[in-house]
């Protein structure tokens, strides 16, 4: 009994440190950055021990999240940092009920973790299966490998949901959690050395960066959107002063309601923007997550203005400077992409009807952009979890010849935004802008 209370006390302290670290995530100094990384590694190592301290820590962390998430959502809406959304109410009620049940019935926590992990694994496996179908349909390689991953994941999910071997379940979750926390902590240490000690041995011999976990990165754009709105209420925007305009822009679109909370990424080069998505309303399935891939090519300024003023999105821009060799490589990649396309026309363009308001029609009416569909290979079919807007940007600016982005793993829009913010704070990206829909200028928010 004394051992249990000792572990509970230590877990409470660790949870407090963890919560504080998350709360001040964007204002940590060097000591806090290193402490956070070592803390993650320590927690990961504890999952491999026989003590229950790591599970107690996880229990407290889940409780903190369940009660703080509804409070933070209510605060953001009350302050005007976020627009009300029916989904917010449902999620807040669910989290509160879950928190109350876990608080008064701690013995239910293992069951909760099995259900959560099983359902999450099942969902991820279904995404792998759909991605396998997309690759087979578009004639890409890797379809069989992804289908095998899907089958393996489904078997694990069934075991977690319905299996009765308690000890094996605990071992599976402990190993998974331990590996996650250790890798995440080590990755944060690598980022720290690359940003603060670029000449060190570790920085020079570690060129890769892991993406944020899918579950965390998915909601990162919403978090950034709320932070920016809060910042806009406290400070005035400052004008961007640069000697030369950036050669390449990576644009990120944010909104605080609906499915658009997950963000969208575009690439702009020489004042021409390239935007990819499932924009054909007549060829969509699975609630718009699967369908014909459509590439939009538009004038940069008018396209951004339309998204900001008509669709009421916050548009973030990150400017990168390229040398002559990088420009030549990027131009060749863009041409190779365009060679696999054929023109397509939206409903508003064909019918000349102002009452048509699908996304492609809104963009055409606001910017007179051009639309293309892919005739073969990658991007012919859009799928939200693989061949999405991020993969198009990734194909252009991250390859064997041109590696402007150093991310590995599943790259979601949120993972891209997290990486861009890290590089901006480290000084590797010189310009970060935010488009204000009520005015005609682009200005800079210095910190969020």
Question: Domain extents for the chain?
Answer: 2-104+164-204, 214-443
pLDDT for the residue 69: 81
pLDDT bracket for residue 196 (50, 70, 90): low
Burial 355-381, CB ≥16 within 10 A → b, else e = ebeebbbbbbbbbebebbbbeeebbbb
Q: Exposed, middle or buried: residue 339 (CB in 10 Å: 0-12, 13-18, 19+)?
A: exposed
pLDDT bracket for residue 163 (50, 70, 90): confident
Quick one: average pLDDT of 63-89? 76
d(CA 65, CA 213): 17
Between residues 435 and 21, the one the model is more confident about: 435
Quick one: average pLDDT of 346-350? 90
d(CA 63, CA 9): 15
Does the pLDDT value for residue 47 go beyond 60?
yes
Matching residue, tokens 């699908």: 358
Q: Which two tokens stand for residue 239?
A: 């004008």
pLDDT bracket for residue 369 (50, 70, 90): very high
Edge to edge, what strands does the sheet with 284-285 contain? 284-285, 290-292, 381-383
H runs (alpha helix) in 24-85: 30-46, 53-78
Edge to edge, what strands does the sheet with 341-344 contain? 341-344, 370-374, 294-299, 272-277, 264-269, 248-254, 314-320, 431-435, 442-443
Which of the given ranges, 27-41, 246-260, 266-280, 307-321, has the highest pLDDT on average?
Answer: 266-280
Contact 241, 93 (CB under 8 A): no
pLDDT bracket for residue 31 (50, 70, 90): low
Mean pLDDT of the chain: 76
Q: By C-alpha distance, which of 372, 373, 366, 393 is closest to 303?
A: 366
pLDDT for the residue 218: 47
Does the pLDDT value for residue 56 go beyond 50?
yes
Contact 418, 220 (CB under 8 A): yes
d(CA 327, CA 345): 30
Kindly state the percentage of the chain with pLDDT values over 70: 69
Does the pLDDT value for residue 186 go beyond 80?
no
Matching residue, tokens 């320590």: 42
d(CA 49, CA 46): 5
Provide φ and ψ at 371, rounded to 5°. -120, 145
pLDDT for the residue 102: 92
pLDDT bracket for residue 254 (50, 70, 90): confident
Three-state DSSP at 371 gives strand
Q: Which two tokens stand for residue 141?
A: 């390689």
Quick one: average pLDDT of 371-394? 88
Three-state DSSP at 109 gives helix
Quick one: average pLDDT of 86-103? 86
Does the pLDDT value for residue 321 go beyond 80?
yes
Three-state DSSP at 372 gives strand
Q: Which two tokens stand for residue 171?
A: 């071992």
Q: Which two tokens stand for residue 338?
A: 């365009």
pLDDT for the residue 335: 94
Q: Rounded to the nearest 5 degrees, what angle is found at the Cα of 214, between the Cα atoms of 129 and 155?
A: 40
pLDDT for the residue 274: 96
Q: By C-alpha distance, which of 123, 127, 129 is closest to 145?
A: 129
Quick one: average pLDDT of 30-59? 75
Q: Taking the CB of residue 168, how many other CB atoms lie within 10 A of it? A: 12
pLDDT bracket for residue 295 (50, 70, 90): very high
Q: By C-alpha distance, which of 215, 214, 217, 207 is closest to 187?
A: 207
Least confident of 137-141, 195-199, 230-234, 310-314: 230-234
Does the pLDDT value for residue 391 go beyond 80?
yes
Matching residue, tokens 């994941």: 153
pLDDT for the residue 176: 81
pLDDT for the residue 91: 82
Q: Which two tokens stand for residue 298?
A: 């538009």
């Amino acid at each position: 009994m004394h051992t249990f209370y000792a572990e509970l006390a230590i877990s409470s302290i660790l949870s407090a440190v963890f919560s504080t670290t998350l709360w001040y995530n964007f204002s940590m100094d060097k000591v806090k950055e290193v402490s956070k990384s070592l803390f993650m590694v320590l927690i990961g190592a504890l999952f491999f021990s026989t003590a229950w301290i790591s599970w107690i820590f996880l229990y407290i962390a889940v409780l903190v999240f369940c009660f703080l998430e509804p409070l933070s959502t209510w605060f953001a809406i009350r302050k005007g940092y976020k627009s009300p959304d029916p989904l917010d109410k449902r999620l807040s009620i669910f989290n509160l009920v879950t928190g109350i049940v876990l608080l008064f019935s701690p013995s239910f926590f293992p069951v909760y973790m099995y259900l959560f992990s099983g359902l999450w694994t099942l969902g991820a496996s279904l995404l792998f299966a759909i991605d396998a179908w997309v690759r087979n349909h578009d004639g890409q390689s890797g379809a069989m490998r992804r289908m095998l991953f899907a089958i393996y994941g489904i078997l694990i999910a069934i075991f977690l949901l319905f299996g009765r071997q308690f000890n094996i379940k605990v071992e599976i979750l402990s190993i998974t959690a331990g590996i996650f926390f250790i890798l995440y902590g080590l990755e944060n240490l690598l980022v720290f050395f690359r940003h603060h000690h670029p000449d060190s041995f570790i920085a020079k011999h570690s060129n890769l960066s892991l993406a944020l976990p899918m579950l965390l990165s998915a909601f990162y754009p919403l978090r950034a959107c709320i932070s920016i709105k809060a910042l806009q209420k406290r400070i005035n925007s400052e004008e961007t002063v640069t000697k030369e305009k950036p050669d390449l822009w990576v644009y990120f679109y944010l909104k605080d309601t609906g499915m658009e909370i997950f963000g969208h990424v575009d690439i702009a080069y020489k004042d021409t923007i390239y935007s990819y998505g499932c924009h054909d309303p007549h060829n969509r399935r699975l609630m718009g997550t699967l369908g014909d891939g459509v590439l939009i090519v538009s004038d940069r300024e008018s396209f951004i203005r339309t998204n900001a003023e008509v669709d009421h999105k916050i548009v973030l821009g990150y400017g990168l400077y390229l040398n002559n060799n990088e420009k030549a490589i990027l131009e060749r990649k863009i041409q190779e992409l365009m060679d696999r396309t054929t023109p397509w026309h939206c409903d508003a363009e064909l019918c000349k009807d102002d009452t048509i308001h699908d996304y492609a029609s809104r963009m055409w009416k606001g910017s007179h952009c051009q639309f293309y569909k892919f005739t073969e290979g990658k991007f012919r079919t859009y799928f939200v979890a693989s061949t999405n807007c991020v993969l198009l940007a990734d194909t252009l600016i991250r390859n064997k010849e041109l590696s402007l982005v150093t991310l590995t793993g599943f790259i979601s829009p949120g993972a891209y935004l997290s990486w861009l913010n890290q590089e901006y704070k480290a000084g590797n990206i010189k310009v970060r802008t935010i488009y204000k829909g009520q005015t005609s200028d682009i200005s800079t928010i210095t910190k969020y």
